[in-house]
Structures are given as C-alpha cells and as structure tokens.
A and B are shown apart, each in its own frame.
Chain A
Amino acid sequence: GAVVSQHPSWVICKSGTSVKIECRSLDFQATTMFWYRQFPKQSLMLMATSNEGSKATYEQGVEKDKFLINHASLTLSTLTVTSAHPEDSSFYICSARVGADRAFFGQGTRLTVV
C-alpha cells in the first residue's frame, strides 16, 4: 500500500537553530500534503497545507516565517522550524491523500528544543 515516510523520527536541537523535517511519498505522487502538530495530551492541530509547486497555506496563528514549508516535487514536502525555541518542542506529522478514500500519515517527528 501507499507509504508516507517522514524523517527524522526524533530530533534534539539547541535553541536558535533550525530543523528540517522531510515527508516523502514513496510509491505515489502527492500534490497536496498536510502538516500537523501535537502538543502533549492535546489533539493534532493542522498547521499548514503544502501544495506542490506553490506556496503553502497556513492556518491562523501559525507563523509562516517560522515554519517554512517547501513542496518542490510530487514526492517530497519539507517543514523547516527556524530559530527553534523550547516552546516549539512538539510532535510534528505529515499526511497525504491517497486515492479517493484514504489519508496516509508519516511516522511523525518528535522535536525537542533545549
């Protein structure tokens, strides 16, 4: 079946540095991917919609300059957390639509900013 591969699965970085998270569709083309964030004991929250070849659409309250999304090809979307701070520590996960009735998720990335 369709696979969405997300990398890395976990990362620890220092405050002020940037972290890039990759989301790849391994056996299908994804024109649209979604990026979500989940804080501990909270629901997943949509951050942005990543569209191949065009600018991402960000949800209200999500800083586009802080969370850079690039969807340069039909199989790869990246989320870069710039100038990370401890409050950015969270679980980030991407998803892509597959066919007419399924959404496939990446494995998620647990980011810890120290």
Chain B
Amino acid sequence: KNEVEQSPQNLTAQEGEFITINCSYSVGISALHWLQQHPGGGIVSLFMLSSGKKKHGRLIATINIQEKHSSLHITASHPRDSAVYICAVPSGGSNYKLTFGKGTLLTVNP
C-alpha cells in the first residue's frame, strides 16, 4: 500500500504570501492528484500530474517521480484560498482509485 505523507499539517499565512505544501509517497506511481476540500466538505480536483509542472491561475503543482515527491504552490495567496489541500496517489493499478494524504489545512488571513 502506498503511504502518503503531507507537510505541513497546518499552515497559516498572510494574504499575498507564497505558499508551498509538500507531499511524499512511498511507492512509485504514474500520476498524483492535488485536491482542495472546502469547510463544507466539497472537493475540487485541482491537478492530476505525472511529470514536471502544471499551472492553473495562481496554483502551480510540481512532481519529481524519482524522488517520489510533489509540491503545490500558491502565489499571491488570498483568504479565499483557505481550505484543506489533499494529495492523493493511485492504488490498485488505477489512476482514479486513490489513497489520500491527511491534508494540509491552509488559513490565509487578510
């Protein structure tokens, strides 16, 4: 079973700061997901990436397959970015059957 570790567990930032959330996993994978979970519970899929870097607006995700590590960056953070950010990796041979990290609770203060 793939073990997924996220850090930090909690992160508080001031509006405008650059945010980095890290994710490490134990077993080689073909792709990794970054998800955002809002206080009400709803989940949004931010990225699925298998190599290099992806960018969407102020969000950037990178992955190093050899080092089994991925990072999620948020530039110019805003209070509306406050949420739990979760990385997830495939298990059982499917890119969509996922094992999740425990999440990083991000709070961005105005």
Contacts and interface: CB of A to CB of B under 8 A. Distances in A.
A34 B43 contact: no
Given A103-B48, A105-B42, A108-B43, A97 B99 contact: no
A104 B46 CA distance: 9
Contacts of B101: 43
B38 to A, nearest CB: 10
Contact of B42 (A32, A36, A49, A107): A107
Contacts, number: 57
Contacts of A81: none
The secondary-structure label for the interface of chain B is strand
Interface in B1-53: 31, 33, 35, 40-45, 48
Interface in A6-53: 9, 32, 34, 36, 38, 42-46, 49
Nearest to B50: A101
User: Which of B35, B40, B41 has the largest count of A CB atoms less than 10 A from its CB?
Assistant: B41
Contacts of A101: 31, 48
- Best-surrounded residue of A9, A43, A91, A104 (most CB of chain B within 10 A): A43
Interface residues of A, number: 23
Given A102-B48, A105-B35, A110 B100 contact: no
A95 B99 CA distance: 13
Interface string A87-114: 0000101010100011111011010000
A97 B45 CA distance: 11
Interface of A: 9, 32, 34, 36, 38, 42-46, 49, 91, 93, 95, 97, 101-105, 107-108, 110
18 contacts: A34-B96, A34-B98, A36-B98, A36-B100, A43-B103, A44-B86, A46-B91, A46-B98, A93-B43, A95-B96, A95-B98, A97-B95, A101-B31, A102-B45, A103-B45, A103-B48, A107-B42, A108-B41
